[in-house]
Amino acid sequence: MKTHARVVVIGGGAVGVSTLYHLALKGWSDAVLLERAELTAGSTWHAAGLLPLFNMSYTVGQLHKYSVDLYKRLPAETGQDVSFHVTGNLRLATNAARMDEYQKYCGTANTIGVPYRVITPKQVRELWPLLDLGDGITTPKIIGALHHPDDGHIAPADLTMALRKGARMRGADIHEQTEVTAVKRTASGEWQVITNKGDIVAEHVVCATGNYARQTGRMFGINVPSIPVEHQYIVYDESPELKEYRLGGGRELAVLRESDQSYYLREERMGWILGPYESGAPARFADGVPEWFGKNLFEGDLERLLPHIEAAQRRVPSLATCGIKDIVNGPIAYTPDGSPLIGPAWGQRNLWLNEGHSFGITAAGGSGWQLAEWIVEGEPGIDMMAVDPRRYGPYTSKRYVVQKNEETYRNVFVTHFPDEERPDARPAKTSPIYDKLARMGAVFGQRYGWERANWFAPPGVEAKDQWSFRRSNYFEHVGNEALQLRLRVGVIDLTPFTKHEVTGPGAEAWLDGLVANKVPTRIGRIALCHALTRRGGIRSEFTITKVAEQHYYVVSAGAAERYDADYLQQHLPQDHSVHLRNVTMSRGCFVVAGPRSRDVLAKLVDGPLDNTAFPWLSGRIAEVGLATDVYLLRVNFVGALGWELHFPIEYAHHLFDALFQAGAEFNIAMAGMRAMESLRLEKSYRMWGSDLTPDYTPFEAGLDRFVRLNKGEFIGKAALERQLAAGVPHRFVTFEVHDVVDADPLGNEPLFDLKGNIVGRATAGYYGHALRKSLGLGYIKPEFAAVGSGIEIEILGERKRATILVDSPYDPENKDLRA
Ligand SMILES: Cc1cc2nc3c(=O)[nH]c(=O)nc-3n(C[C@H](O)[C@H](O)[C@H](O)COP(=O)(O)OP(=O)(O)OC[C@H]3O[C@@H](n4cnc5c(N)ncnc54)[C@H](O)[C@@H]3O)c2cc1C
């Protein structure tokens, strides 16, 4: 074995070998893969080999699409067949919400270029003659289906071997029976990877260890939130009916998914493979994979599968006459949200994860493609935030991950409502006033482990969501909360915000080099600043306040805590001129906003709050009521007169009570996250993570006024200059959708010109309660971006007319917030 390599990949499953292949493809042939047993010995060898293109995520959808395309060309490239059966994939729908889900998915598919068809029951029957359409009594009636003609299934071991061949052809090395047992940092900062066959020093290490992810993470001192769950499929004997159909000239049937009964079914040697996603499947190996578990399986648990077997037999009656040959029950890696962990590990330089894959055969190609891009180029080529390992934080305790992963597993096939909030492992992280909010009727959701009030049920209204793709039970109440902030005064608890203190003589220059805007130079000034990727895309959004000399307070999205903390930490100068402190947990945040907010605060704060003494985008350290050291910032994300109060967390109860006492005469009330969504859309405020992503530059996002190209160097500047010279390819727009009955845009819908060509993509949408308009935000080709232009949007399968509005259609002159 070599003693030195540029990169070591640990793990020889489909994912690790694909990573190696793609690194070699990008020219990094000095790459070595280490596998403790033999290639495919982990979950790869027993996978069912399905390659579903269907995925609700914009990012994962692109990774899967790449894989399917790659697997089709691999045999010609490597000479190794991969047994790719392009059977297509048929997902049945037996209720209206499921059809809505498929229609919503079609928007994503359109924006990433995945071919599909929404088909009728008659077409289902033509495609799948052995299937019963259902009578609506014993068997649910099929009302339609989603058909992907281009995917199917593959032999996972053959795929791994083809990738292995491709990697080796380009000079990469693979060592089997080589277990990584420990790692160290060398004096020069490289990784010393210690194995049972000797040591190897590498600049980069990639972990692709499947079920071993947690114990591999421990070697590096990180807690990887991936724990496997049992997954079973049943292998059936030959089916006489299937045989007759096939011998009679019938083509291989599409992989069938009856989502509403939570199973998949595909052909296997004239018989079937049936794979349910059942309730009660336990997480395994939470403390690590035991020594005795090599290329093993668990005992099958037929009882758990019975309801799904019966449902499948009702749908495909001939299944009842087939004998069961085998049950395959193996560990399948999961993460709490079901998406993999692809990208840099946190807190460690040159450590990369490609872990947590529950659809790892499908995702192997795409994940290797983008991870190699990230390692070699320093950045991925597409927006990878949905799979970035740093989307999780320190809250992923073992029990949290176990509970969430079991929940995610049994929910693989549930309808993925956009407002769905799953109940397990909750509440975990709460703001101090959580109980008070609950008593006020809060209906909570969870983000980054935090409980956040989504809306408040008034007295007499059940505090519960009815999840839907359409306007639902909370629509009216969210509207009232939004109007409360437009007309009177409201409070939003934004304690989960990510908060950093940056101090030291080098603070200003350092921050200036990280963001595109000019960092404030005057004490008490606030600037909205964006950290860019080297390609000029938006990676983070920071609200930066100069609190004192050499002291900045930096606020970013709550869900970006680890993502931003890690980035800031990794970029700190070596000369100790800057100190960074994450104060997310020690400061709470309330937004107090609305026309009467000044009146409320005047009762609690000394000193004037008028526009001269306390203008928009300014802040100061204040006493508020009994609370000291409150950062009182005149900013908010709702476009109203208002302040954010960032306070020492111990004052949360006091401040909350004080605000409600002071605000009683103005009918002060709480508002939740959904009201904030409505309000920010009316102001065209871009949201990090949906509207602002690495796929778009600040010029595309219409944030030109937050870019200072003449201020000196910052990351991404060269790319912005190149884009300006070449022409900005998209414009960010706000649009009104006409004739909406009950379904507003939600994001990821395609935008069309009036001839039916796709010319853009929505990134968010909601109802603007003050404007009384159905609103969307998105990116569009510049020629369609003029105010007043007519476009179309497809919402749940229906084309709707839409008109481009002025940016910030509610109060475009910002009179409210500067009042
Ligand atoms: C029953 C079942 C059916 C499935 N069906 C499908 C399907 O139809 N489609 C699909 O897309 N996915 C399917 N999956 C999921 C799929 O099997 C996995 O997502 C995929 O195999 C993960 O690949 P991987 O390379 O990440 O992990 P693995 O295949 O588990 O590989 C990890 C490798 O790392 C090695 N390793 C670990 N620690 C070390 C160390 N310290 N040193 C050296 N080597 C180490 C292990 O030996 C192992 O070979 C199924 C899973 C199960 C259980």
Give the model confidence (pLDDT) of 736-788 as tens digits.
Answer: 999 999 999 999 999 999 999 999 999 999 999 999 999 999 999 999 999 99
User: Which of 209, 219, 256, 387 to mutate for ligand 1's pocket (most ligand atoms within 8 Å of CB)?
Assistant: 209
Report the percentage of the chain scoring pLDDT > 70.
Answer: 100
Nearest CA owner, ligand 1 atom 14: 47
**Rounded-to-integer distance, Cα 632 and Cα 607, Å:** 12
Cα distances from 367 to residues 5, 177, 610, 662, in angstroms, run 22, 24, 53, 54
User: Which of 32, 33, 44 to mutate for ligand 1's pocket (most ligand atoms within 8 Å of CB)?
Assistant: 44
Half-sphere exposure of 62 (CA within 13 A, CB side): 17
Q: List own/partner pairs for 223-226 with CB under 8 A and 24 or more apart.
A: 223/394, 223/396, 224/341, 224/345, 224/353, 224/355, 224/356, 224/389, 225/335, 225/336, 225/341, 225/356, 225/392, 225/396, 225/401, 226/333, 226/334, 226/335, 226/341, 226/355, 226/356, 226/401
Atom of ligand 1 nearest to the CA of 195: 42
- Residue 53 in contact with ligand 1 by CB distance below 6 A: no
DSSP characters for 327-357?
EEEEEE---TTS--EEEEPSSSTTEEEEE--
- Residue 231 in contact with ligand 1 by CB distance below 6 A: yes
Distance from residue 798's CA to the centre of ligand 1 (Å): 40
Give the model confidence (pLDDT) of 309-340 as tens digits.
Answer: 999 999 999 999 999 999 999 999 999 999 99
- Residue 55 in contact with ligand 1 by CB distance below 6 A: no
Give the model confidence (pLDDT) of 467-495 as tens digits.
Answer: 999 999 999 999 999 999 999 999 999 99
- The residues facing 543 across adjacent strands are 528, 555
3-state secondary structure 421-474: CCCCCCCCECCCCHHHHHHCCEEEEEECCEEEEEEECCCCCCCCCCCCCCCCCC
Confidence label for 562 from pLDDT (cuts 50, 70 and 90) = very high
Can you say whether residue 788 is alpha, beta or left, with left for phi > 0 and alpha for psi between -120 and 50 degrees?
left
- Residue 34 in contact with ligand 1 by CB distance below 6 A: yes
Mean pLDDT along residues 39-46: 96
pLDDT of the residue at 624: 98
Token pair, residue 65, equals 């699409």
- Residue 687 in contact with ligand 1 by CB distance below 6 A: no
Atom of ligand 1 nearest to the CA of 39: 49
Give the model confidence (pLDDT) of 208-255 as tens digits.
Answer: 999 999 999 999 999 999 999 999 999 999 999 999 999 999 999 999
Give the model confidence (pLDDT) of 360-405 as tens digits.
Answer: 999 999 999 999 999 999 999 999 999 999 999 999 999 999 999 9
Residues written for the chain = 819
Distance from residue 47's CA to the centre of ligand 1 (Å): 8
- Residue 37 in contact with ligand 1 by CB distance below 6 A: yes
- Residue 519 in contact with ligand 1 by CB distance below 6 A: no
Atom of ligand 1 nearest to the CA of 181: 41
- Residue 11 in contact with ligand 1 by CB distance below 6 A: yes
- Residue 19 in contact with ligand 1 by CB distance below 6 A: no
Distance from residue 689's CA to the centre of ligand 1 (Å): 29
Atom of ligand 1 nearest to the CA of 16: 25
pLDDT of the residue at 295: 87
Token pair, residue 759, equals 């010319």
- Residue 46 in contact with ligand 1 by CB distance below 6 A: yes
Nearest CA owner, ligand 1 atom 2: 47
- Residue 64 in contact with ligand 1 by CB distance below 6 A: no
Distance from residue 18's CA to the centre of ligand 1 (Å): 12
Atom of ligand 1 nearest to the CA of 219: 41
- Residue 88 in contact with ligand 1 by CB distance below 6 A: no
User: Which of 332, 362, 371 to mutate for ligand 1's pocket (most ligand atoms within 8 Å of CB)?
Assistant: 332
Nearest CA owner, ligand 1 atom 18: 360
Cα distances from 247 to residues 239, 240, 251, 299, 330, in angstroms, run 12, 10, 9, 35, 33
Atom of ligand 1 nearest to the CA of 14: 25
Distance from residue 14's CA to the centre of ligand 1 (Å): 7
Whether the full predicted model's pTM is greater than 0.85, yes or no, is yes
pLDDT of the residue at 775: 98
**Rounded-to-integer distance, Cα 165 and Cα 161, Å:** 6
Nearest CA owner, ligand 1 atom 25: 13
- Residue 216 in contact with ligand 1 by CB distance below 6 A: yes
Mean pLDDT along residues 125-132: 97
Which one, of 110, 115, 111, 107, lies nearest residue 746 by Cα? 107
Atom of ligand 1 nearest to the CA of 208: 26
pLDDT of the residue at 482: 98
Q: What is the dihedral of CA 751, 756, 757, 761, to 10 degrees?
A: 10
Distance from residue 627's CA to the centre of ligand 1 (Å): 53
Question: In the predicted model, what is the mean pLDDT of the chain?
Answer: 97
**Rounded-to-integer distance, Cα 302 and Cα 185, Å:** 48
- Residue 365 in contact with ligand 1 by CB distance below 6 A: no
Give the model confidence (pLDDT) of 11-23 as tens digits.
Answer: 999 999 999 999 9
Strand 731-737, strand 773-780: pairing: antiparallel
Residue ranges of the alpha helices (H) in 548-651? 561-571, 597-602
SS3 for 559? helix
Atom of ligand 1 nearest to the CA of 328: 1
Nearest CA owner, ligand 1 atom 20: 360
- Residue 210 in contact with ligand 1 by CB distance below 6 A: yes
- Residue 180 in contact with ligand 1 by CB distance below 6 A: yes
Contact in structure between 698 and 530 (CB atoms under 8 Å): yes
- Residue 50 in contact with ligand 1 by CB distance below 6 A: yes
User: Which of 361, 371, 413 to mutate for ligand 1's pocket (most ligand atoms within 8 Å of CB)?
Assistant: 361
**Rounded-to-integer distance, Cα 435 and Cα 437, Å:** 5
Distance from residue 670's CA to the centre of ligand 1 (Å): 47
Which one, of 691, 511, 539, 663, lies nearest residue 591 by Cα? 663
Contact in structure between 293 and 282 (CB atoms under 8 Å): no
Confidence label for 549 from pLDDT (cuts 50, 70 and 90) = very high
Distance from residue 341's CA to the centre of ligand 1 (Å): 14
Confidence label for 1 from pLDDT (cuts 50, 70 and 90) = confident
**Rounded-to-integer distance, Cα 163 and Cα 44, Å:** 13
Nearest CA owner, ligand 1 atom 33: 11
Mean pLDDT along residues 407-429: 97
Contact in structure between 692 and 533 (CB atoms under 8 Å): no
Nearest CA owner, ligand 1 atom 16: 360
Nearest CA owner, ligand 1 atom 12: 359
Task: Kindly tell me if the per-residue pLDDT of 441 is higher than 90.
Answer: yes
Distance from residue 153's CA to the centre of ligand 1 (Å): 16
- Residue 332 in contact with ligand 1 by CB distance below 6 A: yes
- Residue 779 in contact with ligand 1 by CB distance below 6 A: no
